[in-house]
Structure 1
Amino acid sequence: MCYPGSLDAEKVAGKIVICVADDDPIAFRGLKRRQVVQAKSVGVILIEKEEAVLPSVTGIFPYVQVGDIAGSQILNYINSTKKPTATILPTVEVKRHRPAPVVAYFSSRGPAQRTENIFKPDKMAPGVAILAAMLPKIDEAVGDKPSEFSMRYGTSMSCPHVSGAAAFVKSVRHRWTSPMIKSALMTTPTAYDNTRKLLTNGSSYIANPHEAGSGGLNPMKAQNPGLVFETTTQDYLRFLRHNGNSEKDIRSMSNTV
């Protein structure tokens, strides 16, 4: 698994190490890589579930991720060969990847915990392998100076995309309220990927509404949705009452009489 203390430096020094990701979160990739580097290895092959193989930044240390199918083939080769060898080739840029977008395996799923009457998630937005500006890490220099960019994942990346889309719509529709902008963004997403097929999840199955929400964010169409819905404070209060909250609790939450 390549966890701290699991590697024998005398055995792995000068060799390519294979690590199995199991169900580890993305953040553990860096931890595993650091363990291999500290053990004086010359490279690492990380075996993950097929849907978990995602791009990442590793600096100048040779590193490759493979799915469990390729991983099984690699392990079979190692176990059946007296002196197995391997080569990690330089990174190759893949443009216009297909299919895209795809619901990431780590993306939060619906329904809402308290009630299915609240549609969750609202929509999809880019949150995988986003090249983001970062404070450089002195101990992980790339080339002559530390990199100022890194691949990032999750809500921290998708939220800025949605916020930017909302600001874009507001710049065109000055009089629209926040609920109206949200309405426009939720009624105009696309349900298809760049192969003109229905959106799928990381397992290649068609994504359901609890995975993709209303679809992929489409700021251009959101400028002219045809119809927008306004949501007022009273609407939320009525919803709370309908959902079983007492009048006393609602007054406490809303700070109204």
Structure 2
Amino acid sequence: MAEALREQQLCLSRFIRDPHSNPAPPGIEARRLAVYRQLFLGNMQSLLAGSFPVLSATLAQTQWQSLTTEFYACHRCKTPLFTEVAGEWVSYLETRSDLPGWVAELAHYEWIETVLLLSDNADPAHDPEGDLLDGVPLLSSLAMPLAYAWPVSHIGPDQLPLEAPVEPTLLLARRGADQKIHFARLAPLAHALLVSLQQQLLTGREHLDALAQRAGVERGALERQGIALLHGLKAQGVVLGTVRG
């Protein structure tokens, strides 16, 4: 009895997800199946449109409908949480090599706002007055350096790029004390420093030395710029201080 019920439920769920590839469960009126189908798919499409308003408005309506329908039918989410479906959508679009490159990048750009809004990460203990050059600068867990091949912050229904520009779009996304998400353009040095802070625990001097070596420039010149940059990031709350030893 239990096995028969389980098979009926699976048959119904397979049909609702993808009625073109799965037979309808017997004994249920087609009209009712259509209602179930539209209810579940419509809820998913509404959820995605609310999380990705720019992408949904920029794609042609038929393309948006097609992509969300295919996502619903084919993608196997690794989480049951509605708050994490947006991340699954981004992962799905990143597998779609048939789409223009800006589609997945624009989705990722919009998704980052959700990630930061919902983040409950706690920053580790730190010294807010620590020496940013000789100590180990600590990046806020609510700040993310981002790099895109496409100008994601300028894409919209009336502004579609035909090709990626030569220079990447470098951005900082952060959640401020006002609990709002702020995006700012970054210079290459600022982006490289933030990525270095994100990836490894080194003193500020070691971060700047490594960046100077990578760029092939004189260490002293970059260090002067780097110190000013670290203090500017500290003033914005992007750098919290230094790791407490």
Same fold (TM over 0.5): no
- With structure 1 as the length reference, what TM-score do the two structures score? 0.28
- With structure 2 as the length reference, what TM-score do the two structures score? 0.29
Structure number with the higher helix fraction is 2
